[in-house]
């Protein structure tokens, strides 16, 4: 059975940007902005904390 969400720290998630111009990156639904870098065809995003579920939004 699943009873508790698991908390994770300091995650780096890299999304291939496929030549899109992503610039507005945040966690939904609170729209907390996240810092990111662009390198090697990926947008690298740092997520300081994630508990159970995180919804990361990358907008053009």
How many C-beta atoms surround the C-beta of residue 12 within 10 A?
10
Least gap, CB of 38 to other proteins (angstroms): 14
Paired tokens of 17: 């940007």
Site string for other proteins, 28-47 (x = CB under 8 A): xx-----------xx----x
Instruction: Figure out which of the listed residues 35, 37, 38, 57 binds other proteins, where binding follows CB under 8 A.
Output: 57
Burial class (CB in 10 A: 0-12, 13-18, 19+), 58: middle
Least gap, CB of 4 to other proteins (angstroms): 6
């Amino acid at each position: 059975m699943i009873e508790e969400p698991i908390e994770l720290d300091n995650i780096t998630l890299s999304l291939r940007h496929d030549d899109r111009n992503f610039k507005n990156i945040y966690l939904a639904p609170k729209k907390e902005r996240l810092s990111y870098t662009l390198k090697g065809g990926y947008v690298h995003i740092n997520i300081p904390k994630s508990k159970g579920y995180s919804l990361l939004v990358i907008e053009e």
